[in-house]
Amino acid sequence: MPVPKKRHSNSRQGKRRATNYKLTAATLSRCPQCGATTLPHHACHACGTYKGRQVLKIKVKKPKKEQP
């Protein structure tokens, strides 16, 4: 089995491993009901639908009353 003759430096090791850590932007799709952006294969957080069915109950925030 081949064995390296000399030790590779830490920077060389990091260069080799750097391709595994590249960040990619998340793919987003549009909700067919409300048009909000959602992750694929996830329920919409804006309207609570998934594949045309209501699966989440969305709470509506009440506006705060102004204090005199």
Instruction: Give domain status of residue 34, yes or no.
Output: yes
What's the token pair of residue 12?
A: 């060389």
**Residues 31-68: tens digit of each pLDDT:** 999 999 999 999 999 999 999 999 999 888 888 888 76
Instruction: Give domain status of residue 41, yes or no.
Output: yes
Instruction: Give domain status of residue 36, yes or no.
Output: yes
Residue 49 has a pLDDT of: 94
pTM of the model: 0.55
Cα distances from 42 to residues 28, 49, 55, in angstroms, run: 10, 9, 11
Count of the separate structural domains present in the chain: 1
Instruction: Give domain status of residue 3, yes or no.
Output: no
**68/52 Cα distance (integer angstroms):** 45
Instruction: Give domain status of residue 7, yes or no.
Output: no
